[in-house]
Amino acid sequence: MTTAIHVRGLTKRYGEVQAVGGLDLDIHTGEVFAILGPNGAGKSTTVEILEGYRKRDGGEVSVLGVDPGHATSAWRARVGIVLQTANDAAELTVRETVRHFARYYPHSKDPDEVIAKVGLSEKAGARIRQLSGGQRRRVDVALGIVGRPELVFLDEPTTGFDPEARRQFWDLIRSLAAEGTTIVLTTHYLDEAEALADRVAVIAKGRIVAEGTPHTLGGRATASARVTWADGYAETDTPTALVRTLAEKYDGEIPGLQIVRPSLEDVYLDLIGGTE
Amino acid sequence: MTATLNIGLARASLETKLFFRQRDAVIFTFSFPIILLVLFGSIFEGDLEGTGITVAQLYSAGLIGAGVMGVAFQNLAIGIAIDRDDGTLKRLAGTPMPRAAYFVGKLVSSLVLAVIEVALLLAVAVLLFDLELPTDPARWATLAWVLTLGLAGAALLGIAVSSLPRNAKSAAAVVSMPYVLLQFISGVYIPFTELPSWLNDVAAIFPLKWMCQGLRSVFLGDAGAALELTGSYELPKVALVLGLWLVGGLVLCLATFRWTNRGEG
């Protein structure tokens, strides 16, 4: 397994505020990696350092084998960035914009194919101003991938989407991942991380407080389960044994049976709460 | 280098397209100096001290200079402040686009706008105020270099000033003030003979006064030279000051340009 992003001891300070305080991170080539964390946890700062937008104070950072603190245009051609808030070029059409950005890259994809991929073929001739919020983010994605990047950063891509638009957007991300593109995603939505990410890291107070697959994060898979049935409930580390006992007791179906492990949200809130 | 130029020209065509799709900006930018020219030309009739030059012709030369500066300095500075605010610059900075291509795009698109602006103002001045177009090719050559140097200097100054406003909302106010002030002290609206000498000295620091002086030499001809403070159009000095601004503006740009808003970088 090769490493797309390698970070050791990353630090960044704004005046009195230590935004990032010794952060370690490894993201493998081809995986979808989600970075979770509350506002002000150092999430955006970390990602902007990885994207080459910000200088770091200390630590070791390598993105696709290059230090983003000394980004070259050859490196930028390998990295796609989908920004969180961009309202530019409102009076250009989708096709004009994507075609123009394709010129910046040495091995760009066919602009019309990219537009089709993000599902905007019907809107290719429309001005960006006339698009809905969700369609606009699709243009952002198109601009982020038109250069055929090996690595794509997506910063809170579905904020403000309705549920249907989010599902469609997730399919788009999945199809990118299926092509082997490494994807680094920051998000506030835990269901989004759960649906898309191979691995998740939680940042709080400028450090990684937990890292793992969405299913095992923070000991989620092995945490005690809450078993509820018609006549009672129990917290247990061995829910299967309890269910077996109950099944014998009721001689068949257990009325109102429910077994609940902590949700990703429970684990997440616990993790970031623990750092307060 | 060729890649930078090619992408720069592609950006110029994009920028020009964007500008013309913003109807209100188009109308305001082009009509403002034209309305002023019609207004001043109609209010102040008559000749200037037996030179055979009308006040309207004098204003024509001045407003062409002001119009070019409006396109190059004001329009550019506000445009870049908006680009910085709405994410254009940040997005571009994340691509392999050669950074210089952005500036090539801005400069070339303001050159296009300036040429249109000058043509419109000349048409109005010729049709309404009997401005005579020069017949001597040397004067056309003077027009070309004065406009090119003046435009480039003003544009670079505009790029530098674009870093002053905190965001796009304050950009119009921050940028318009120095532009309007310069017009008043550079002989566009008020004859410089009526200004105290210290104000004329201040105006002499900035490019607009020299651009207007060069334009008067083109459109008012030898008869108008007597109206100048020194009795001459001082063309070598015009070239020198505009050239210095070109270099100074470039240095200022390189030193001050920010790809993000203050507090974000």
Nearest by CB to A104, which of B21, B95, B265? B95
pLDDT digits (tens, 9 = 90+) for A93-106: 999 999 999 999 99
pLDDT digits (tens, 9 = 90+) for B161-184: 888 888 888 888 888 888 889 888
pLDDT digits (tens, 9 = 90+) for B139-153: 999 999 999 999 998
Which residue on chain B is closest to A72 by alpha carbon? Answer: B96
Distances (CA, A) of B120 to B107, B131, B238: 20, 13, 24
Q: Which residues of B touch A127 (CB under 8 A)?
A: 21
Tell me the three state secondary structure of residue B84. Answer: helix
Average pLDDT over every residue of A121-131? 93
Query: What is the 8-class DSSP label of residue A200?
Result: E
Q: Which residues of B touch A103 (CB under 8 A)?
A: 6-7, 10
Q: Which residue has the tokens 């005579």?
A: B132
The residue length of chain A stands at 276
Q: Which residues of A touch B26 (CB under 8 A)?
A: none
Answer yes or no: do A49 and A131 share one domain. no
Answer yes or no: do A211 and A96 share one domain. no
A77 touches chain B (CB under 8 A): yes
Specify if A83 maps to a domain.
no
Nearest by CB to B7, which of A52, A85, A104? A104
Specify if A84 maps to a domain.
no
Tokens of residue B69, six digits: 């500066």
Specify if A40 maps to a domain.
yes
The C-alpha angle with vertex A187 and arms to A276 and A86, in degrees rounded to 5, equals 120
Q: Are the C-beta atoms of residues B150 and B142 closer than 8 Å to each other?
A: no
Nearest by CB to B91, which of A86, A105, A106? A86
Alpha carbons within 13 angstroms on the beta-carbon side of residue B46 total: 5
Q: What is the dihedral of CA A138, A140, A144, A148, to 10 degrees?
A: 40
- Strand order across the beta sheet in which A232-236 lies: A232-236, A225-229, A258-260
Q: Which residues of B touch A81 (CB under 8 A)?
A: 91, 94
Under the banding of pLDDT at 50, 70 and 90, the label for residue B13 is very high
Q: Are the C-beta atoms of residues B57 and B131 closer than 8 Å to each other?
A: yes
Tokens of residue A117, six digits: 């991929």
Tokens of residue A74, six digits: 């050859």
Which residues lie below 8 Å from residue B244, measured CB to CB, with a gap of 6+?
A: none
Query: What is the 8-class DSSP label of residue B172?
Result: H
Cβ contact A73–B98 (<8 Å): yes
Return the closest-CA partner of residue A41 out of A263, A215, A268. A268
pLDDT digits (tens, 9 = 90+) for B233-253: 899 999 999 999 889 888 888
Which residues lie below 8 Å from residue A110, measured CB to CB, with a gap of 6+?
A: none
A107 touches chain B (CB under 8 A): no
Share of chain A above pLDDT 90, in %: 54
Find the distance separating the first CA and the last CA of chain A, reported in whole Å: 35
Which residue on chain B is closest to A56 by alpha carbon? Answer: B265
Average pLDDT over every residue of A49-70? 94
Which residue on chain A is closest to B11 by alpha carbon? Answer: A100
Answer yes or no: do A61 and A164 share one domain. yes
Answer yes or no: do A139 and A182 share one domain. no
Cβ contact A88–B91 (<8 Å): yes
A51 touches chain B (CB under 8 A): yes
Report the distance separating Cα B172 and Cα B169, nearest Å: 7
B23 touches chain A (CB under 8 A): no
Give the DSSP H or E segment for B66: helix B55-69
Specify if A129 maps to a domain.
yes
B262 touches chain A (CB under 8 A): no
User: CA of B6 to nearest chain A CA: how many angstroms apart?
Assistant: 9
> According to the model, what pLDDT value does residue A60 have?
95
Answer yes or no: do A11 and A59 share one domain. yes
Cβ contact A91–B94 (<8 Å): no
Answer yes or no: do A272 and A196 share one domain. yes
Return the closest-CA partner of residue B17 out of A198, A128, A20. A128
Residue A274 in this model has a pLDDT that exceeds 70: no
Cβ contact B14–A143 (<8 Å): no
User: CA of A99 to nearest chain B CA: how many angstroms apart?
Assistant: 11
Find the distance separating the first CA and the last CA of chain B, reported in whole Å: 28
Q: Are the C-beta atoms of residues B21 and B105 closer than 8 Å to each other?
A: no
Residue A273 in this model has a pLDDT that exceeds 60: yes
Choose, out of B84, B91, B260, the residue to mutate when testing the contact with A (most A CBs < 10 Å). Answer: B91
Tokens of residue A207, six digits: 């450090």
Residue A19 in this model has a pLDDT that exceeds 80: yes
Q: Which residues of B touch A89 (CB under 8 A)?
A: 18, 88
Tell me the three state secondary structure of residue B149. Answer: helix
Q: What are phi and psi of B203, to 5 degrees?
A: -60, -35
Q: What is the mean pLDDT of chain B?
A: 88
Return the closest-CA partner of residue B86 out of A89, A154, A144. A89
Answer yes or no: do A243 and A267 share one domain. no
> According to the model, what pLDDT value does residue A77 have?
96
Distances (CA, A) of A171 to A18, A151, B42: 37, 18, 65
Average pLDDT over every residue of A70-99? 88
Q: Which residues of A touch B260 (CB under 8 A)?
A: 53
Answer yes or no: do A204 and A235 share one domain. no
> According to the model, what pLDDT value does residue B265 have?
41
Distances (CA, A) of A243 to A16, A228, A235, A239, B1: 54, 10, 12, 6, 73
Report the distance separating Cα B144 and Cα B158, nearest Å: 21
Q: Are strands A32-36 and A199-204 parallel, antiparallel or unpaired?
A: parallel
What is the residue range of A246's domain? 224-260
Cβ contact A53–B87 (<8 Å): no
Q: Chains A and B: how many Cβ contacts under 8 Å?
A: 65
Specify if A85 maps to a domain.
no
Q: Is the dihedral of CA A234, A239, A240, A241 positive or negative?
A: negative
Count CB-CB contacts under 10 A for residue A212: 16
Helix axes B99-129, B137-161, angle to 10 degrees: 130
B4 touches chain A (CB under 8 A): no
**What is the total count of domains within chain A?**
3
B76 vs A269, higher pLDDT: B76
Answer yes or no: do A214 and A169 share one domain. yes
The ranges assigned to domains in chain B are 2-256
The C-alpha angle with vertex A53 and arms to A52 and A54, in degrees rounded to 5, equals 95
Tokens of residue A124, six digits: 């290719």
User: CA of B78 to nearest chain A CA: how many angstroms apart?
Assistant: 14
User: CA of B222 to nearest chain A CA: how many angstroms apart?
Assistant: 47
Cβ contact A143–B91 (<8 Å): yes
A100 touches chain B (CB under 8 A): yes
Give the DSSP H or E segment for A62: strand A58-63
Answer yes or no: do A73 and A4 share one domain. yes
Q: Which residues of A touch B10 (CB under 8 A)?
A: 100, 103
Answer yes or no: do A191 and A231 share one domain. no
Q: DSSP string covering A37-56, please?
A: --TTSSHHHHHHHHTTSS--
Q: Are the C-beta atoms of residues A57 and A49 closer than 8 Å to each other?
A: no
Answer yes or no: do A156 and A57 share one domain. yes
Query: What is the 8-class DSSP label of residue A121?
Result: G
Tokens of residue B68, six digits: 């070019």
A53 touches chain B (CB under 8 A): yes
